[in-house]
């Protein structure tokens, strides 16, 4: 007897008008699903007994709102350019606003609406993976999926709105100042907690596309993982890996995965090490505009990570020395382990979380102000008016007479070679880290 394949049309109730009679096998799966999450493997398995009616009665439907296309057009002003937030591999993203006028009892909040680009690199499978996974999993460091829309060929996802966009734009800004040290560590810690949660599931989830553009930030710089279209179930039982087609982003994928297609949670750990390296150096994982030997960040910078005396050569100069030296060493050591060519030598994400939490609590960040360097002369000549003038200025500084200092400083700049200028050494620059709430 021929077995009828179950297509995407049978999974979500609003996509297609499908009615399936419950069978004994389907009821067994539904009963199991109330305790254990639906496996991502069930999505693409043509022999899966799941149907639209099963899914509509599962935990997925109870956690998500099902929107119409007309509703999403209304809340985004017909996907107007003024509401455009950005575009990724899935498609364009627009900002919208929902409240109880849209649905009774719905919390008033801004949202991000992602529309599948039918000509893009992702499609049905990635859209379904997001719905099934984020419809079941909830965590402070995973972006919240509020609902979805499935009408005809249209596939849309509705997420909570993240005010500060993604880490890539914050870490590599074109015009604004870069992220302070503690903010970077807070983001790394949050992202690590998100990965640790996924890996710690009864059915482990491998994220498979961990990178700066997929780490979203709220107004307090709390990191949340997004874009789960490439996620896969990890190995279970006696399995050592999952064999799959190589997917992800060049520069972030673990070398053993690229070479063999063997996927484990250690692939995510390697990708996390790449992001840690980007946070330390302020450089992108791949950048062809850099000198040839520096274009691949991991190949260039990894050797510096194991030598604390060479670490300052790769630290982001935009930090201006305003970071914990002890913390930088710990993060560099962690990144070095994550980037090991031997997957078994890499730490678990739980261990990474513990290390980053310790770094957050270190208080050895320099807090010195502008430093005034006195002249080298030990003796003052009584008849030298310049020396007398300098002494008076120095005394004025000690008394807090800042206005007098600045006025006299302008005059002294013209006298080259006699005094050293007041300056701000890069290793002791003052930077207020008030943006980070730890």
> Which residues are part of the catalytic machinery?
209
149 torsion bin: left (phi>0), alpha (psi -120 to 50), beta (else): beta
Q: What is the largest CA-CA distance in the chain?
A: 113
Contact 292, 282 (CB under 8 A): no
273: left (phi over 0), alpha (psi -120 to 50) or beta: alpha
Please calculate the CA angle 270-274-278 and round it to the nearest 5 degrees. 165
C-beta separation of 38 from 51 below 8 A = no
Report d(CA 278, CA 21) in Å as an integer.
Answer: 53
What is d(CA 155, CA 127) in angstroms, rounded to the nearest whole number?
Answer: 7
Using the structure block, give the residue that is written with the tokens 């909040």.
109
Beta bridge partners of 215: 225
Are 141 and 220 spatial neighbours (Cβ–Cβ below 8 Å)?
no
CA distances for 377 relative to 1, 87, 212, 386, 419, angstroms: 101, 62, 52, 12, 10
Three-state DSSP class for residue 242: strand
| Residue labelled with tokens 């609902």 | 147
- Rounded Cα gap, residues 349 and 43, in angstroms: 27
Unique residue bearing structure tokens 């490439």: 230
- Measure the CA angle with vertex 14, ends 11 and 19; round to 5°: 65
CA dihedral over 98, 100, 105, 109, signed as positive or negative: positive
* Main-chain phi, psi angles of 169, to 5 degrees: -70, -30
For strand 65-66 and strand 145-151, is the pairing parallel, antiparallel, or unpaired? parallel
């Amino acid at each position: 007897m021929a077995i009828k394949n179950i297509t995407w049309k049978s999974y979500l109730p609003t996509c297609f008008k499908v009615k399936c009679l419950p069978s004994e096998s389907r009821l067994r799966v539904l009963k199991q699903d109330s305790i254990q999450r639906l496996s991502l493997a069930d999505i693409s398995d043509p022999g899966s007994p799941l149907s639209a009616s099963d899914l509509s009665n599962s935990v997925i439907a109870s956690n998500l709102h099902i929107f119409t296309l007309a509703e999403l057009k209304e809340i985004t002003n017909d996907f107007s350019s003024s509401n455009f937030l950005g575009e990724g591999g899935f498609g364009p993203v627009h900002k919208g606003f929902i409240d109880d006028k849209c649905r009774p009892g719905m919390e008033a909040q801004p949202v991000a609406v992602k529309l599948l680009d039918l000509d893009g690199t992702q499609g049905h499978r990635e859209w379904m993976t997001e719905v099934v996974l984020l419809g079941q999993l909830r965590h402070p460091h995973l972006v919240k999926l509020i609902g979805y829309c499935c009408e005809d060929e249209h596939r849309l996802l509705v997420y909570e709105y993240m005010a500060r966009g993604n880490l890539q734009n914050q870490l590599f800004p074109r015009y604004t100042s870069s992220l302070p040290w503690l903010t970077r560590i807070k983001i790394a810690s949050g992202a690590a907690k998100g990965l640790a949660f996924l890996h710690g599931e009864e059915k482990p989830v491998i994220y498979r596309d961990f990178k700066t553009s997929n780490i979203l930030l709220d107004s307090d710089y709390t990191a949340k993982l997004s874009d789960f279209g490439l996620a896969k179930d990890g190995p279970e039982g006696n399995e050592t890996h999952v064999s799959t087609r190589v997917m992800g982003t060049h520069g972030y994928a673990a070398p053993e995965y690229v070479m063999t297609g063997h996927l484990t949670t250690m692939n995510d750990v390697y990708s996390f090490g790449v992001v840690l390296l980007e946070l330390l150096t302020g450089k992108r994982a791949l950048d062809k505009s850099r000198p040839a030997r520096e274009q691949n960040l991991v190949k260039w910078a990894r050797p510096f990570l194991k030598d604390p005396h060479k670490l300052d050569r790769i630290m982001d100069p935009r930090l201006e020395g305003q970071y914990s030296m002890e913390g930088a060493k710990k993060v560099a050591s962690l990144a070095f382990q994550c980037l090991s060519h031997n997957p078994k030598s890499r730490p678990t994400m739980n261990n990474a979380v513990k290390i980053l939490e310790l770094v957050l609590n270190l208080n050895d960040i320099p807090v010195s102000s502008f430093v005034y360097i006195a002249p080298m002369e030990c003796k003052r000549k009584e008849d030298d008016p310049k020396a007398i003038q300098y002494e008076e200025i120095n005394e004025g500084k000690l008394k807090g007479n800042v206005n007098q200092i600045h006025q006299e400083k302008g005059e002294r700049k013209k006298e080259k070679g006699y005094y050293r200028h007041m300056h701000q050494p890069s290793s002791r620059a003052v930077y207020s880290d008030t943006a980070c709430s730890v």
